[in-house]
Amino acid sequence: MKVIKGLVVMGIAAAVLAGCGSNNDKAANTSASPAAEQTDAVTTASIVNQADPFIAAVSDKGNWIIAILNDLTIDKEVTVSGEFHDKGKAENAIYRKLALYSQDENHNITASYTLTVPKMTVQSENFKIQGGTLKGDVYVEAKGFTLDKTATIDGNLYFKSADLQSTAVLDGKVTGATEVKE
């Protein structure tokens, strides 16, 4: 039974990671084949379902993409830090992504998850939250924050300055306030 469960989890993880590449229009174009991109995504992403590995994955020593495959509650503040590049390649645009969903082979979201934190501070440039719900307050201290149309912040969204807020793309839903709070 453990072997079957392990294979199912590996299959879901592969499906999520195969399609977690950036749809970021700002990202640099690459001439790599789809197979090479898929392999790169698998080798440079973090799939985490526990608090401590999640905190490590979003740190400056973590990865460019972080995915969860079920609801996750973290009882302490989380900081997203460090500079990362799309698909983990230095020649690509600065970009970081939090994937709160699973998807099929056609990149359709098949399940959405909730990440619950008391506070998330974003210090990574061009950080994107996609799919699912982040339950808690988000404090943005870096330019280029994106809340994808498939994501929700169930809490407040604060920007350290009006300049940072002006670089944000907020296509998703915020249930609380969205404002500058120094």
Tens-place pLDDT, residues 43-100: 346 899 999 999 999 999 999 999 999 999 999 999 999 999 998 899 999 999 999 9
114 is written with which tokens? 């909730």
Q: Across the chain, what does the average pLDDT equal? A: 82
DSSP string, 34-79: HHHHHHHHHHHEEE--SHHHHHHHTSTTS-SEEE-SS-EE-SS-EE
d(CA 42, CA 17) in angstroms, rounded, equals 6
d(CA 170, CA 151) in angstroms, rounded, equals 10
User: 39 near 21, Cβ under 8 Å?
Assistant: no
Return the amino acid letter for 97: K
Report the alpha-carbon angle 159-165-170, nearest 5: 105
The predicted model scores a pTM of: 0.77
* pLDDT, tens digit (0-9, with 9 covering 90-100), for 15-50: 444 444 444 433 333 333 333 333 333 334 689 999
* pLDDT, tens digit (0-9, with 9 covering 90-100), for 103-143: 999 989 999 999 999 999 999 999 999 999 999 999 999 99
Collect all residues with Cβ–Cβ distance below 8 Å to 140 and sequence separation of at least 6. Answer: 122, 157, 158, 159, 160, 164, 165, 168
* DSSP H/E element including 169: strand 169-170
